[in-house]
Amino acid sequence: MIRVLLADDQALMRAGFRALLEAEDDLEVVGEATDGASAVQLARRLRPDVVLMDVQMPGLDGIEATRRIAADPDLAAIRILILTNYGLDSYVFAALRAGASGFLLKDADPTDLLQAVAVVARGDALLAPAVTRTLISEFVAGPPPAVPTAGRDVLTAREQEIVELVARGLTNDEIALRMVISPLTAKTHVNRAMTKLHCRDRAQLVVWAYESGLVAPRRR
């Protein structure tokens, strides 16, 4: 059973998400938060597997709520899925930096939402290749990356090459084909890189790749 916490200031949105999720046998909505502060409090009390987090909420917004949850070692197992009306706006990359596992548009197909919750709950990457590439495009059009907190020297040359391909939006299968290795080997390299860099998931790995300078932004 995947336990989900809803964080959205719009009652209609929460009701819609609850109805969709609870129609599934393996999903349970354990709580609802109307702002970021209550989302953090409920996350600490209920320990859900996944938080569906709206970005724009009164008081404490979804980005800061995400940051507080991700920074709490006791809540390390919680995955945060950012919900937004605006696609890849300026909030989304900040949310990924703050520790979110990925994002989804509120008008996404119901099947996409259900799949996203399941993927995040497993601890796998949420960001599909097309989404990753769009994220990258948005990022490189912005200001120069910040000084990274972890150096590239913690990775082997092979791991650096694979992380670069992840940041370019390739799946494990595509990486395997490009590097003439098995998909399982590609996944192992990706997981090792995430462990060494203390990245929560693939989305954080993409963020690190650009902030570290491993992947040079392609300026427009």
Please enumerate in sequence order all residues whose Cβ is within 8 A of that of 119, keeping only pairs 6 or more positions apart, or say none. 125, 126
- The answer as to whether 135 is a domain residue is no
Same domain, 10 and 113: yes
- Whole-number Å distance between alpha carbons of 103 and 113: 10
Q: Which of 126, 153, 168 is the last residue of a domain?
A: 126
Q: Which of 94, 126, 158 is the last residue of a domain?
A: 126
**Is-contact 5 46, C-beta < 8 A?**
yes
- Whole-number Å distance between alpha carbons of 118 and 41: 23
Domain that holds residue 85: 2-126
Tokens standing for 158? Answer: 């092979």
Same domain, 13 and 112: yes
- Whole-number Å distance between alpha carbons of 209 and 217: 10
Tokens standing for 17? Answer: 């998400």
Tokens standing for 14? Answer: 């929460």
Please give the chain's pLDDT, 220 residues, in tens. 999 999 999 999 999 999 999 999 999 999 999 999 999 999 999 999 999 999 889 999 999 999 999 989 999 889 999 887 765 556 666 777 788 887 777 788 898 889 889 888 887 656 545 555 566 555 555 554 454 455 778 999 999 999 999 887 788 888 999 999 999 999 899 999 988 988 877 777 887 887 788 876 554 4
